[in-house]
Structure 1
Amino acid sequence: MPPADPTLPVLLARRAAERPTAPFVVETATGAVWTYADAHADADRWAGALARAGLSAGDTALVMLPPCTEAVAAWLGLSRLRAMEVPINTGYVGRLLRYVVEDSGAAVMVAHADHLAALEEAAAGTAVLRTIVVVGARGPLPSSAFELVTAADFLDGATAPADLAPPAGRDIASIIYTSGTTGPSKGVLVTWRQAELTATGIMPTELFDETDAFYSPFPMFHMSGKGPLYAAALLGARVVMRPRFDTARFWSDVREYRATTTILLGAMANFLHQQPAHPDDATTPLRDALLLPLVGDVDGFRERFGLRVRTTFNMTETACCILSDGGDLADDTSCGRVRPGFQARVVDADDVEVGPGELGELVLRGDEPWTLMAGYWGKPEATVAAWRNQWLHTGDGFTRDADGNFYFVDRIKDAIRRRGENISSAELEEEVNAHPDVVESAAVAVPSEYGEDEIKLVVVPRPGTRPTPEELVAFLSDRVARFMVPRYVEIVDELPKTPTQKVRKVELRAAGVGPGTWDRMATSTPRRQPG
């Protein structure tokens, strides 16, 4: 593995000196162009203001912002102090939001004004959080249980301390919370070295240069939003930042901002491919796309749009360890081969490697230190379990062939992936079980016509009651993020269980969508299971 490059805050300072007026981030929402010099100066101001607020190396700070330059500057400002950014999913409300606020142990938070009401409701009275720096305030700040200060006032007159030691590859770039697939969400300690290798997996430096532009409609609480920034800085390229993916705006944005590469999560690629064909589909500036996963008709997709298509397998804990060789795809289902600098195995329940074509769990490790997660924040037992036998256990079922190509089969953990978001079935079940007429429930993934998953919720009602699917969906809509609201609901008398009383979700997944399943997207009258 080649030597580590400078960490992003150090690299940004270098770019600001070498190419100060070159664009680093272009915001589609505002049209603003943020140069490398702007980015470095703003990161320094945030570092100074955060230090003035009492933060230093090893501290945590929460950030709950949409994709914007303020989110990048706050992150890099914290990194200049060697403090740890904890980005929060902007869709979180209620119990999930309070859990991350409390678990992070952060006393300071940077949040958009649009999230203040949710924070007040969910997190007022938490033990540690005291100050919220408000971005995007319109008019006077409301009264609050927290100390609120506008970003403008917070940053006023701030300059970075002169004696800051630059962050190293082993330092923590961010604590990014997983979806909590096996229980409460876990904060992944993402190192700067891991972040760099994730970035170069997303945008390999040998395939791109300073003329390229990465189209990024991805959130800053995922590596899909952070990785392109690191990759662009490595190349001296630019990132085109849109607040969220919009099929209708995608190609017009690509043309207007001359975007040359992007990530397309499965549903995104299918949304684009299902649009009516146009004669100029293959003549846009876009010439490369990383598809996660590959679409079914991958040859038709790349021919229609004139693209080099790449793929990878990644998760918050890893660094694109399995990856296609540029546009050289083994076939339309493989995730690629092991990337130089990493090792991968498919193992059985005893961690013994299985042969080609045999199903097992994917486990990974790096040849060099700090290239995979440093552990889970505040959860040593979970860290040890994930790293048992000195291999990182992904929890995902894979096979490999005799040529070394790896194939994702299914999630060993009961996770659901919808619209690019990983969803914890356990956390969703906890919320619906809070309904007074629900005894227990199970959330499972069922196939979506757009790729990835839809959520099916199977509910056992309290005896003598019969909550309707509409009531349950309305109840959840006020308690969970929009992407977690199930499409399908089925009311049953009991859930299938093992002798040890664990729910047999494999049976629920196999049952899929049947005549007794209610579909909130259906136009006809929903049917319900008798009884």
Structure 2
Amino acid sequence: MKTENSKPWSMGHQDTVNAVLRRAAEKHGERTFLDFLGDEYSFTEVNRRACRLAHGLSALGVAKGDTVVTVLDNSADAVFIWLAINKLGAVSVPVNTALKGEFLRHQVGDAGATVIIAEHDYAERVAAIAERLPEFRTLVYRGPQPAINGLRQDLLPWATLLSDNTSEPDVEIKPSDLAMLIYTGGTTGPSKGCMISHNYVCTMAHQMVRLTGRTEEAITWTPLPLFHFNAIGSTVLCNLIVGARVALYTRFSVSNFWPEIERTEATDVALLAAMFPMLAKAPDNDAMKCCHGQLFAAWGAPFPPDIQAIWKERFGLKYTVAGGFGLSECSLLTLLPFGTEAKPGSSGLRNEWFDVRIVDENDLELPPNTPGEIIVRPRMPHIMFEGYWRRPDDTLKVMKNLWFHTGDIGKFDEDDYFYFVDRKKDYLRRRGENISSFEVENAFRAHEAIEDVAAHAVLDPMGEDELKVTIVLKAGAQLSEESLCNWSIDQLPYYAVPRYIELRSDFPRSPVGRILKYELRDQGVTPMTWDREKSGIVLKKR
């Protein structure tokens, strides 16, 4: 199934989030669009609530081009506020709810928002770093009033945003205008904000229509967090485009999965990584049996072929797809059009949106079936990131020879099927979360007993990265792995707390003294490695 690699530049389909929502409300009216734990909202009501919140934000001084940080759990309000921010031409900055301390301060401070909107308990985390956020002026909390004292900034309840004005804000929005900042995992330094235009996120949603074959009859269920680009573009906006329903859930639960599928009458699900094998191997329950054959498809990656086979046989699915490859900076570089047969191990085909090449260290293109770095350029305007927020030098660094260099290794075969090979960048991905080794190492270096640290990946039996930190203690220091792990729980987001810890006298190093992380990765779990999952320590996802 050979596709042409060189196609002419074109305008493509230029769109905005605001236009997508208006068209959907006009066409589908009072049909249900959003279901959250049984509360249902029509297309018209979603648009109306977004308008009310937009006017509420405007009253706080939010205007076109301003960033607004949100630290919110999945909820209907999280959808409404994202759409409201975009209605004003402002820039939505959804922050991972697991962030705390310096991790949170870096992203919130880098975004430069004057208004921050957070769940009441996350608001306390924001207040704790407020003195180090010079541009921060107003904190809006959702839920009960948080226990915050001495905050110099304004502290306001969510109800403050609920204007009675339901008219469309009179703001001109272009496809090239920024819709959001999505922060990277910070692979070689502090995490960076990818500037996402309206047209980019809309293009990604159109790509997902191509990949999933969704129609207005679909009911897509997902527990994926709305601070991820995946849930925003691939599910919510995708279904707005086709007029389909979205059922959002708080956070993934094996025991509640099938009861939710039964309750919502879902036709397809959008999941990630370890969710697939966990459900495939879970015990039977009545809801699962009742729903046999109800789900038409499951989408997500990675989705290994053997686990796909279990889903089809055990749950009666027709389609199980992991048909694409992309990054926050550019998605989707490859995709498998709905109904196209995948080759084992592949992640989609070339598409009309992007020119993707595999090159050597000199940027010379490599022949089929030869691994090399993945580089990309768009074939249409505003379909990939507009650069890194406030970081022009970092943007230029990845644009060598005017091609975006992904830092990842892949290959195409002779039929243009794509295969991901490895990560060139020094980062990890665990259960859908990008983890910055740079930030993890900085957190551990703050411990008074640690001389040096290396955070790196080791492969677990499910085929995912697990985080290991290898540590050299200061001379004379005494410290157990378990006490160090317990210390890190208060310093790191739950997903960045390492599973494995190993204490050593030194690291493998290069002739100039640099730690050779590839050797640590190759050594993996050694007889001297401590394993958190065998220790009985349980992490809470807060």
- Same fold at TM > 0.5: yes
CA distance in 1 between counterparts of 2:278 and 2:80 reads: 32
Deviation for aligned residue 1:282: 7.6
Structure 2 counterpart of 1:190, from 170, 178, 196: 196
CA contact (8 A) 1:270 1:451 kept: no
Q: Does 1:215 align with 2:215?
A: no
1:304 corresponds in structure 2 to: 314
Alpha-carbon displacement from aligned partner over 1:357-415 (angstroms, at most 9, x marks no partner): 22211112221010111110000011112222222211111122122111111111111
2:266 corresponds in structure 1 to: 259
Deviation for aligned residue 1:162: 4.9
Deviation for aligned residue 1:3: 4.2
1:187-336 map, 5 Å: 187-204=193-210, 207-227=213-233, 228-276=235-283, 280=289, 283-297=292-306, 298-305=308-315, 306-310=317-321, 311-336=323-348
Alpha-carbon displacement from aligned partner over 1:232-258 (angstroms, at most 9, x marks no partner): 111111110011111221122112101
1:61-140 map, 5 Å: 61-138=68-145
1:172 corresponds in structure 2 to: 178
> What secondary structure is seen at the aligned counterpart in 1 of 2:237?
helix
> What secondary structure is seen at the aligned counterpart in 2 of 1:265?
coil
CA contact (8 A) 2:335 2:351 kept: yes
2:390 corresponds in structure 1 to: 378
Identify which range, 374-383 or 516-525, moves more after superposition: 516-525
CA distance in 2 between counterparts of 1:84 and 1:291 reads: 27
Q: 1:316 to 1:139 in 2, by over 3 A?
A: closer
CA distance in 1 between counterparts of 2:148 and 2:31 reads: 36
Alpha-carbon displacement from aligned partner over 1:95-133 (angstroms, at most 9, x marks no partner): 011111211111111111110221122233421101011
Deviation for aligned residue 1:496: 1.1
2:526 corresponds in structure 1 to: 514
CA distance in 2 between counterparts of 1:97 and 1:230 reads: 27
Q: Which one-letter code corresponds to 2:363 in the other structure?
A: D
1:529 corresponds in structure 2 to: none
Identify which range, 452-461 or 270-279, moves more after superposition: 270-279
Q: 1:502 to 1:327 in 2, by over 3 A?
A: farther
Q: 1:163 to 1:523 in 2, by over 3 A?
A: closer
Structure 1 counterpart of 2:42, from 11, 35, 40: 35
Q: With the length of structure 1 as denominator, give the TM-score of the two structures.
A: 0.93
Identify which range, 4-13 or 109-118, moves more after superposition: 4-13
Deviation for aligned residue 1:265: 1.7
Q: Does 1:413 align with 2:420?
A: no
> What secondary structure is seen at the aligned counterpart in 1 of 2:368?
coil
2:403 corresponds in structure 1 to: 391
1:372-521 map, 5 Å: 372-521=384-533
> What secondary structure is seen at the aligned counterpart in 2 of 1:204?
helix
CA distance in 1 between counterparts of 2:494 and 2:103 reads: 13
CA contact (8 A) 2:280 2:310 kept: no
CA distance in 2 between counterparts of 1:116 and 1:433 reads: 27
Q: Does 1:153 align with 2:160?
A: yes
Q: Which one-letter code corresponds to 1:195 in the other structure?
A: V
Q: With the length of structure 2 as denominator, give the TM-score of the two structures.
A: 0.92
Q: Does 1:7 align with 2:16?
A: yes
> What secondary structure is seen at the aligned counterpart in 2 of 1:319?
strand
CA contact (8 A) 1:26 1:241 kept: yes
Q: 1:296 to 1:497 in 2, by over 3 A?
A: farther
Alpha-carbon displacement from aligned partner over 1:64-91 (angstroms, at most 9, x marks no partner): 1111121122111111111111111110
CA contact (8 A) 1:78 1:85 kept: yes
Deviation for aligned residue 1:500: 2.6
Tell me the matched-pair count: 522
Q: Which one-letter code corresponds to 2:180 in the other structure?
A: S
CA distance in 1 between counterparts of 2:395 and 2:290 reads: 46
Identify which range, 46-55 or 298-307, moves more after superposition: 298-307
> What secondary structure is seen at the aligned counterpart in 1 of 2:300?
strand
Q: 1:26 to 1:391 in 2, by over 3 A?
A: same
Structure 2 counterpart of 1:22, from 18, 27, 31: 31
Q: Which one-letter code corresponds to 2:309 in the other structure?
A: D
Q: 1:156 to 1:491 in 2, by over 3 A?
A: same
Q: 1:290 to 1:105 in 2, by over 3 A?
A: same
CA contact (8 A) 1:271 1:450 kept: no
> Which sections of structure 1, spanning at least 5 residues, go unmatched?
526-531
> What secondary structure is seen at the aligned counterpart in 2 of 1:54?
coil
Deviation for aligned residue 1:281: 8.3
Q: Which one-letter code corresponds to 1:446 in the other structure?
A: V
Alpha-carbon displacement from aligned partner over 1:148-182 (angstroms, at most 9, x marks no partner): 111112324455575321x2221111101111001
Q: Which one-letter code corresponds to 1:434 in the other structure?
A: A
Q: Which one-letter code corresponds to 1:16 in the other structure?
A: A
> What secondary structure is seen at the aligned counterpart in 2 of 1:413?
coil
CA distance in 2 between counterparts of 1:68 and 1:459 reads: 40
